[in-house]
Chain A
Amino acid sequence: MKRYYFKTHVVLIMTSACLLFLQSCKPKTAQSAAGGDASKSYVAPGKYDEFYNIVSGGFNGQVAVYGIPSGRLFRIIPVFSQAAESGYGFSEETKPMLNTSHGFVPWDDQHHIALSQTKGEHDGRWAFANGNNTPRLARIDLTTFRTSEILEIPNSAGNHASPFITENSEYIVAATRFSVPLDDQNGDVPINTYKQNFKGSISFVSVNPTSGEMNIAFQIRTPGVNFDLSRAGKGKSHGWFFFSCYNSEKANTLLEVNASQKDKDFVMAVNWKKAEEYLKAGKAKKQSVKYAHNVYDENTHTATSTIKTEVMVLDPADCPEMLYLIPCPKSPHGTDVDPTGEYIVASGKLAASIPVFSFTKLQKAIADKAFDGEYDGIPVIKYEAALHGEVAKPGLGPLHTEFDGKGNAYTSMFVSSEVVKWSISDLKVLDRVPTYYSIGHLSIPGGPTAKPHGKYLIAYNKITKDRYLPTGPELTQSAQLYDISGEKMKLILDFPTTGEPHYAEAIPASLLMNKQRKIYKIEENTHPYVAKGEGQSRVERKGNQVHVWMTAIRSHLTPDNIEGIKVGDEVYFHVTNLEQDWDVPHGFALKGANTAEILIMPGETQTLKWVADKPGIVPFYCTDFCSALHQEMQGYLRVSPAGSNVPLLFSTGTNKPAVTGTDTTKK
């Protein structure tokens, strides 16, 4: 009774509270529900976002595409991981994309994104992505949002400091997180001979200005440190690249303790124009290696994987004035270059301050030989000689810095879970906002370019305890959107993400939305097994291999009745989508297939390989809801025992019951 009384009271109070709530905030917008100023992130139904946000997927190995400011997820692009959803890495055409010198590697850990640039600004052509585990670089075509190319990186392990890009997309870089014995050395050495046997590598990968194709132009052999992150110089510092290095102690065990012994590690400054000169002058040595280069052809709709066997290597000992080390406090993580190219911000993740180096002072220090000795033969610049100044006590655990183009820098603070805005000129902290929780990277549209768009900042958080409805032991990672148009940063949206985002870039929608590919022209399809019309569909046997030239169009598959398949046959379903209409993919799946479906874009051909495992009838169907008669889009395949003499038959619409009987089974 008492309880009842209490409940009534609670309900009454709650109701009146709700009433108050409703009255005071009338149906304005979705505003106060999110707590932040949600109206600023609200994109009405049918309206477009201002920016594409190209976001790394971390341990899902893929890249995600969101809209900003809405936070809506548009697409997950399969890159380094097989995607059962589309058949990427399962279809015969896409399997070669995941080939490496280790064979087929269907997963990776995707950390950073670099969008192609021209004159220091986004040009909207390609997105580059790194594979952290089995060192790889990928190129995504921003007209199709599909992976066009994957390049493996030799002499490397843990491709973390990658794929940062120069201002005209001359190069993207790949610097190794783990130093390792080189690929042409005997790697069967005691691990505690690290100091003698382990080396670092930085790869400069050229980007063909027309096709975008990647090629390892040269590698630079470096001391056996760990490379963490990187940025290209721009404007006045164009021609230079900056890499953060940790573990200058060269520890090979318990790095948690042993890689934090020295007060300072380094930022490595690479004069890559100088490196190009040395390469031209024949200073590079050819090294024998093995790495895969996988390219997807949009006409054959097929990837080819080529194993390459050589790389050109520059040794700093033969190349003076190519590398310099700038001391940097405590295991620097992000090293970021401001829009003018003058300032290099290095965030020592365990440091109590953020050092900001000046490119002009660095050049002067080099000219004056203001060195503080050498590290493995590489000149170490005097810290003070290159230093513009330090941001004192910015927060705890500084990681990464982005820029708004108005002279401000924004640094993520992992330990104190906040974004700190500070002024580049006087290094004063201007504002700070909490993140929920444990921010890693952050992104401002155009933030790494010479002309940032500013306006928004997106924080990518690692921990979301108590932020969303809980989902068992594993919780989503999150992004938080801040309005940075004013003096104070304002949280306006909090949205869950897919995978584990690390770095991301955002690019104005106007640069991409009008050049999206809608279909593949069927007449341009040069796939060896294309059927450019239903008349070309057929089934052919070559020994125990059976090739099915199949077509898909609303709302049938041709052929849809196939007989004469025998147990043990390898059947290749080459499915061509005959549609020439945007947003009408067809899917193809077959009962018991040990792979995945394939999803075929209009005008494209994709192949599902399947081995007939037992006699019987095997249904197949279209998996992508394509039309009102999608559910009718299906067929049957008959499997007979291995020695059977059932003839190979295929048809659509003609294999009808015999007129006289109901039993159509042939003997």
Chain B
Amino acid sequence: MKKILGSILLLSSIFFFSCNDAAKESGTTTTETETINPGGQSSVKDDESAKDVVKIAVGSADHSTLVAALKQADLVNSLSNAGPFTVFAPTNAAFDKVPKETLDNLMKDENKAQLQDILQYHVYVGSLKTEMMEDGQTFNQVNGGNITITKKDGKVMVNNSATVIASIPASNGIIHVIDGVLLPPANK
């Protein structure tokens, strides 16, 4: 109950503040739009539809590092869009292979652009099942860089460095769980 009361108080204070902003007639766009919708598309309340790529990742204990990174890179709303997306989703164990210092650095605000670049390299616009992929095929990822698929004996690898260990269909695309973090080619 306390929680509910708290949120009501919070709500009323938001109302109060938004009014003040309007009264000032100089409220910035961000404050106004935040009042209209603080969360964007990812905050749409819907427990009935199939889960999108973000919700699946959030619900996976093996992807907490990825989810934290997506949040830090402001990609959560974009990936809640209609897509369709193919997300190559490194597991926590995959992220553990990256030196901790590197990872910590990427999570800093000043390195957001670099983090976005890396994460966008894990996303393709289009829903690709592994059976659609061919050996040697390249796909141009959201960040602009290409990945190369190798397919041998039913095993699908990305850039010869990460193996697809599971594929999970989502409402707005598909997630391929991979055991390595993909690094964008440097000379982009």
Residues of B within 8 A of A489 (CB): 29
- The answer to whether A17 touches B81 (Cβ under 8 A) is no
The minimal Cβ–Cβ distance linking B99 to chain A, given in whole angstroms, is 26
The complex places the Cα of A13 from the Cα of B128 at a distance, in Å, of: 51
* Neighbour of B29 across the interface among A263, A462, A467, A488, CB < 8 A: A488
Please tell me if A20 contacts chain B, counting CB pairs below 8 Å.
yes
Q: A415 near B19 (CB under 8 angstroms)?
A: no
Bound complex: CA A466 to CA B77 (Å): 14
B1: chain A residues within 8 A (beta carbon): 6
Q: Does residue A642 face the partner (Cβ distance < 8 Å to B)?
A: no
Are the CB atoms of B22 and A353 closer together than 8 Å? no
- Give per-residue flags for A314-350: 1 if the beta carbon is below 8 A from chain B beta carbons, else 0: 0000000000000001100000000000000000011
- Are B140 and A260 in touch, CB under 8 angstroms? yes
By the criterion of a CB under 8 Å from any partner CB, how many residues of chain B are at the interface? Answer: 49
Is there contact, CB below 8 Å, between B28 and A32? no
User: Is the pair B41, A417 in contact by a Cβ cutoff of 8 Å?
Assistant: yes
Q: How large is the interface on A (under 10, 10 to 19, 20 to 34, 35 or more residues)?
A: 35 or more
> Do B19 and A32 touch across chains, with their CB atoms under 8 A apart?
yes
| CB of B133 to closest CB in A, whole Å | 8
Closest A residue by C-beta to B129:
A257
Determine how close the nearest CB of chain B comes to the CB of A4; give it in whole angstroms: 13
Supposing A17-B8, A21-B16, A24-B16 touch, asked if A417 and B113 sit within 8 A by C-beta, the answer is no
A312 within 8 A of B: no
A contact face: mostly helix, strand, loop, or mixed: loop
Nearest CB in chain B to that of A431: its residue? B29
CB-nearest residue of chain B to A486: B29
Task: Point out the residue from A20, A35, A396, A415 that lies within 8 Å of B16, measured CB to CB.
Answer: A20
Chain A 204-242 interface 0/1 with B at a Cβ cutoff of 8 Å (1 = within): 000000000000000000000000000000000000000
Rounded to whole angstroms, the CA-CA distance of A31 and B33 in the bound complex is 14
Q: Is A189 an interface residue (CB 8 A)?
A: no
Stretch at the interface among A128-136, A433-441, A506-514: A433-441
Residue contact B41 to A13, C-beta cutoff 8 Å: no
A491 an interface residue at 8 Å Cβ cutoff? Answer: yes
| A641: B residues at CB distance < 8 A | none
Instruction: Let me know if A650 is at the binding interface, CB within 8 A.
Output: no
A334 to B35 alpha-carbon distance, docked (Å): 32
Q: Which of B25-75 contact A (CB under 8 A)?
A: 25, 28-29, 32-33, 35-37, 40-41, 43-46
- Interface pair A257/B82, CB less than 8 Å apart: no
A393 on the B face (CB < 8 A): yes
CB-contact partner of B78 in A257, A415, A462, A466, under 8 A: A415
Q: How far is the CA of A10 from the CA of B82 in the complex (A)?
A: 38
Q: Check A13 against B18 for contact (C-beta < 8 Å).
A: no
B115 to A: closest C-beta gap in Å = 13
**Cα A256 to Cα B40 with chains together (Å):** 27
Cα distance A28–B44 in the bound complex, in angstroms:
31
Which 8 A-B residue pairings sit nearest by Cβ, starting from the closest?
A17-B12, A352-B144, A35-B36, A25-B19, A24-B19, A465-B44, A32-B22, A466-B44
Q: List 7 A-B contacts (CB under 8 A).
A: A20-B12, A21-B19, A256-B84, A256-B127, A350-B126, A434-B40, A436-B36
Q: Show the binding face of B for A, using Cβ within 8 Å.
A: 1, 4-5, 8-9, 11-12, 15-16, 18-20, 22-23, 25, 28-29, 32-33, 35-37, 40-41, 43-46, 77-78, 81-84, 113, 120, 125-128, 132, 137-140, 142-144, 146
Question: Which chain A residues have a beta carbon within 8 Å of chain B's beta carbons?
Answer: 6, 9-10, 13-14, 16-17, 20-21, 24-25, 28, 31-32, 34-37, 254, 256-257, 260-261, 263, 329-330, 349-353, 393, 396-397, 414-417, 433-434, 436-438, 462-463, 465-467, 488-491, 494
